[in-house]
């Protein structure tokens, strides 16, 4: 930073300090009528005890997601809006190219009744549908967990296994390779077709590509966002009938 840059930085610093001081003074003058704005304390990545989340630089984590404690997220994976990955009493491992879709919850169990340790392990190129709940379970590579499904402690979904949307998979259940399980409680429904196995792999790839678009959009500065709004307003196609209703 050159002399001019340092001077501009210093001026900006003192302007901000002055504004904050005026705000504090105004709050004191308001007395009992004070309205104090509370800033959001949401943290996308949060340490817990001595555990620090580890997220690969090429992974996408939505700004409204929460990754807490002993959690690893691999290359090209995506953790979407509203997700919570809570590695408190045990660890969570998410492999590469995996997508955990909006509002899903991934948690762990310290152990089961027999003393078996139950982290949550999610392999590579896995698709976890919206609002799914995974608790102390294992989902192997290229498996698929449908929207709203619940996987309880000790569940294992083998490679190319599929859990249907809205299903409840009971404790210690194993979903074998190439099978579709569904219902409450989940039971074997049928074998996966070759087309469905291909779809699972393609689904993971599609989400990896989509995550790059969302990551780029979330990385934009406020100035860039406001500039794009102006351009959109200026060049958007005008609908005369719609515009007439606004007048």
Q: Does residue 141 contact residue 200 with C-beta atoms inside 8 Å?
A: no
pLDDT at position 222 is 84
* 242 has a pLDDT exceeding 60: no
pLDDT at position 41 is 80
Tell me the pairing of strands 156-157 and 78-79. Answer: unpaired
Region 102-128: mean pLDDT is 92
Q: pLDDT category, 105, cuts 50, 70, 90?
A: very high
Higher pLDDT among residues 42 and 150, named by residue:
150
Tell me the pairing of strands 179-182 and 187-191. Answer: antiparallel
* 189 has a pLDDT exceeding 80: yes
Tell me the pairing of strands 144-145 and 162-163. Answer: parallel
Q: pLDDT category, 51, cuts 50, 70, 90?
A: very high
115 Cβ contact list (under 8 Å, min separation 6): none
> Average per-residue pLDDT in the chain?
90
Q: pLDDT category, 29, cuts 50, 70, 90?
A: confident
Phi then psi for residue 245, to 5 deg, are: -75, -20
Higher pLDDT among residues 170 and 12, named by residue:
170
Tens digit of each residue's pLDDT (9 = 90 or more) over 56-103: 999 999 999 999 999 999 999 999 999 999 999 999 999 999 999 999
pLDDT at position 237 is 63
Neighbours of 156 (CB within 10 A): 18
pLDDT at position 7 is 85
* 229 has a pLDDT exceeding 90: no
Half-sphere exposure of 55 (CA within 13 A, CB side): 20
Q: pLDDT category, 247, cuts 50, 70, 90?
A: very low
Give start and end residues of each alpha helix (H) in the chain. Answer: 3-30, 194-218, 222-235, 240-246
Question: What's the CA gap between 235 and 214, in Å, rounded?
Answer: 23
Tell me the pairing of strands 105-107 and 133-135. Answer: parallel
Beta-bridge mates of residue 135: 107
């Amino acid at each position: 930073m050159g002399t001019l840059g340092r001077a501009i930085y210093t001026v900006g610093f003192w302007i901000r300090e002055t504004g904050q001081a005026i705000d504090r003074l105004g709050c004191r003058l308001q007395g009992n009528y004070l309205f104090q704005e509370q800033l959001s304390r949401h943290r996308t990545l949060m340490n817990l005890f001595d555990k620090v989340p580890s997220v690969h630089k090429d992974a996408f984590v939505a700004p409204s997601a929460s990754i807490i404690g002993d959690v690893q997220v691999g290359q090209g994976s995506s953790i979407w809006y509203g997700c919570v990955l809570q590695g408190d009493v045990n660890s969570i491992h998410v492999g590469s190219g995996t997508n955990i879709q909006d509002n899903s919850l991934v948690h762990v169990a310290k152990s089961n009744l027999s003393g078996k340790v139950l982290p949550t392990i999610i392999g590579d190129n896995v698709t976890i549908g919206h609002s799914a709940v995974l608790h102390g379970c294992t989902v192997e590579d290229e498996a698929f967990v449908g929207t709203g499904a619940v996987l309880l402690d000790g569940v294992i979904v083998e490679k190319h296994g599929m859990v249907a949307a809205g299903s409840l998979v009971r404790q210690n259940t194993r979903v074998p390779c190439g099978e579709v399980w569904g219902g409450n409680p989940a039971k074997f429904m049928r074998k996966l077709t070759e087309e469905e196995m291909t779809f699972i792999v393609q689904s993971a790839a599609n989400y990896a590509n989509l995550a790059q678009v969302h990551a780029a959009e979330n990385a934009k500065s406020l100035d860039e966002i406001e500039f794009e709004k102006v351009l959109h307003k200026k060049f958007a196609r005008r609908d005369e009938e719609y515009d007439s209703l606004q007048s």
